[in-house]
Amino acid sequence: MGGSAAAAGKSVSGGGRAAPRVPVPEARPFLDTFRANLKETFFPDDPFRAVVRERGFGRRAAAALRYFFPFLEWAPAYRLGTFKSDLIAGITIASLAIPQGISYAKLANLPPILGLYSSFVPPLVYAMMGSSKDLAVGTVAVASLLIGSMLGAEVSPTDNPALYLHLAFTATFFAGVIQASLGILRLGFIVDFLSHAAIVGFMGGAATVVCLQQLKGMLGLEHFTTSTDLVSVMRSVFSQTHQWRWESVVLGCGFLFFLLLTRFFSKRQPRLFWISAAAPLTSVILGSLLVYFTHAENHGVQIIGNLKKGLNPISVTNLQFTPPYMMLALKTGLITGVIALAEGIAVGRSFAMFKNYHIDGNKEMIAIGTMNILGSFTSCYLTTGPFSRSAVNYNAGCKTAMSNVIMSLAVMVTLLFLTPLFHYTPLVVLSAIIMSAMLGLIDFPAAVHLWHVDKVDFCVCAGAYLGVVFGSVEMGLVVAVAISVLRVLLFVARPRTTVLGNVPDTNVYRRMDQYTTARTVPGVLVLRVDSPIYFANSGYLRERITRWIDDDDERTSAKGETGVQYVVLDMGAVGSIDTSGTSMLDELKKTLDRRGIQIVLANPGSEIMKKLDSSKVLELIGHEWIFPTVGEAVAECDFVLHSHKPGMVSGSATRENMV
């Protein structure tokens, strides 16, 4: 360490004052700094670089169109071999989308035909505007449950079905507007406040609630609670034991076992993915044939009934923009839109990672928002990219978003010609389809992983799950977001500070609680601050640094060793500082001076140096006590301590002054 100390601080100009070891960058004009920060905040991926690089208005306009309509990039180079792969994938996901669409519409307390409508128009829009090759668009269970529970709490779908239907369209419209606005305004980072742990817990809780709701169909009950919490559902189930239908129980359990068995085989043999993909449609066909030939509808087995033939009717005139229900639709659209957005982007990014390509999150928000806006005009309710359907699309070998077009055309044929075939489809089969899909969303391995890796994240996950299951879906979402935001605030307001020690035979300083061989330097306390210094944490940092010094003084006095004379702050992890932070360093400097302790800064960044210089704190501390590395700072302090003469004020002599 003495060798490095001799090397540190030798840059003396003509035997006079040494040049600053850490230079202060030149000040940039405020507008330039503001523009750079704004670009880094809202355009970190520089999305329009391809447009700017083009020369001429026409070429730039074409590049802009390719940005907002990604199909213009892959469509000109589309080949027959690619179409064959997309054709197989599109037909495969259509076989899954048709029964799922009908099932999820029932979950939202909407007419079953809306599930087919929502699998026709939105996939066409996404195929033109979406950047994911693998995302298969359609309705999802969680959003359907949210719509059913939030709208159903204010408007009865049985007593006032027309108003309920119109509010579902209006909520979808508001969801689309919010989603597209987040993308246009480059506010996609807001969705990131739904952490992975919160999503795991929320989705698991929502899946549990959805499964509980299917007990109505599985048991053949005609009346059921509108509440979604566990206690209300169990009370409703066991208070009607005399109305349980054994026919529905046998059918439901049988088809549920069949669906779970096909999923098991598909997981064991990924090449047989088509078995689980075709299982829902197979269940619908078998269930319909069974009811038709046995006349089970006359024995308590409920069926879908008539489905209207024809394509989506226009619904733009049905949107409700007048009180008192507009705010209900807006609240429902906001919550369901954000949840659907988070799910769709997460699924798209997952499969993009598998195939090593990139999707633009903000562009995806615009695409998903636009398809929901147009969907609300054409009798569709909220859609996004469900994981189960996208996984089938991926495993089926899709190459582009054309698979969504194929699926949409298959649904169109169904709407025009095949809807009468679903007349005898038993509702219990739809309940079994929903339950089998939801069981896959309860991710027990992920929860166990969170427990082993991060207990706080596990608490976020558990809080979201319990909030959904024992409260409501909205309560679970609020709990998940609140705990996640609280954790972020705690990270900011209570940043970690650690004591660093010297690793033997090196000039490296590391955390002493991690490196057990690291040793402190007598008289020098090295502290690392692991966050930016803001108004929210400046007071805490001042108190925590003072407490570290007091603790070290108690330890050294008990052993008869040299007390703290230098406090070295490692600023390498301090990315920024505000005026409260500079004031804190100013106060800390004056407080330590009264105790005869010198404050030393190591590895401050350019932003920190500029703020300290403009606030005069740099002049107060002194350029000679600013070092580029912790090793050099400690070496200088150690040199001064060993060169200390009787009567010399601590910290008044540096090696530059003594040269």
- 586-628 per-position pLDDT tens digit: 999 999 999 999 999 999 988 889 889 888 888 899 888 999 9
**Among the listed ranges 290-294, 392-396, 611-615, which one has the minimum average pLDDT value?**
392-396
Lowest model confidence (mean pLDDT) among 70-74, 273-277, 412-416, 527-531: 273-277
- Mean pLDDT for 466-478 is 83
In angstroms, what is the C-alpha Rg of the chain? 32
Look at residue 46 in the predicted model and tell me its pLDDT.
67
Would the pLDDT of 1 be above 50? no
| Start and end residues for every CATH 3.30.750.24 domain found in the chain | 496-656
Instruction: Sheet with 524-529: list strands edge to edge.
Output: 509-511, 497-502, 524-529, 566-570, 598-602, 626-627
- Sequence-distant (6+) residues with CB within 8 A of 120 are 311, 312, 380, 408, 411, 412, 415
Say which range, 242-246, 544-548, 583-587, has the weakest mean pLDDT: 242-246
Distances (CA, A) of 434 to 89, 123, 225: 22, 21, 18
Taking only the tens place, the pLDDT of each residue in 307-334 is 888 999 999 999 999 888 999 999 999 9
The whole-number average pLDDT for the span 134-162 is 89
* Predicted confidence (pLDDT) per residue in 408-464, tens digit: 999 999 999 988 888 888 888 888 888 888 887 788 899 999 999 988 889 888 988
Helix, strand or coil for residue 477?
helix
What pLDDT, in 10s, does the model give residues 23-60? 887 777 778 777 777 777 777 666 677 677 777 777 88
Two tokens at 542? 């001042």
Give the integer Cα–Cα distance in Å for 455 and 358.
32
Q: What pLDDT was estimated at residue 653?
A: 46
Sign of CA dihedral 65, 67, 71, 74: positive
Residue 315 CA to its chain's centroid (Å): 32
Cis upstream peptide for 324 (omega within 30°): yes
Mean pLDDT, residues 214-226 taken together: 80
* pLDDT given at position 559: 81
Q: Is the Cα torsion angle 382, 384, 390, 393 positive or negative in sign? A: positive
Task: State the DSSP string of 533-582.
Answer: B-TTTHHHHHHHHHHHHHHHHHHHHHHT-----EEEEE-TT---B-HHHH
User: For 44-120, where are the alpha helices, taking DSSP H only?
Assistant: 49-53, 57-68, 71-74, 80-107, 113-117
| Burial of residue 478 (number of CB atoms within 10 Å: 0-12, 13-18, 19+) | middle
Mean pLDDT of 298-303: 80
Q: What is the mean pLDDT of residues 541-547?
A: 93
**Do 569 and 527 form a contact (C-beta atoms < 8 A)?**
yes
Q: Which of 32, 342, 320 is nearest to 174 (CA)?
A: 320
**Per-residue confidence (pLDDT) for residue 45, from 0 to 100:** 66
Model pLDDT for residues 87-128, shown as the tens digit of each residue: 988 998 888 888 888 889 988 999 999 999 999 999 999 999
Instruction: Classify domain 496-656 at the CATH topology level.
Output: Transcription Regulator spoIIAA (3.30.750)
3-state secondary structure of 530: coil
Q: Which residues, in sequence order, are CB contacts of 293 under 8 Å at separation 6+?
A: none
Band (pLDDT 50/70/90 cuts) for residue 10 is very low
191 or 245, which is more confident? 245
CA angle 239–142–358, rounded 5-degree value:
165
Give the model's pLDDT for residue 330.
94
**Helix 444-453 vs helix 196-213: angle between axes, to the nearest 10 degrees?**
150
Q: Is 325 helix (H, G, I), strand (E, B) or coil?
A: coil
Which tokens belong to 420?
A: 């009468």
**Residue 354 pLDDT > 90:** no
Please, what is the Cα angle at 58 between 54 and 63, to 5 degrees?
50
Q: Residue 129: is its pLDDT beyond 70? A: yes
pLDDT of residue 5: 34
pTM for this one?
A: 0.77
Is pLDDT of 632 > 80?
A: yes
- With contact defined as beta carbons under 8 Å apart, do 495 and 529 qualify? yes
- Residue, of 597 and 192, whose pLDDT is higher: 597
Confidence of residue 640 (pLDDT cuts 50, 70, 90): confident
Pairing of strands 598-602, 566-570: parallel
Tell me what percent of the residues of the chain surpass a pLDDT of 90: 31
Answer yes or no: is pLDDT of 390 > 90. no
pLDDT for residue 547: 93
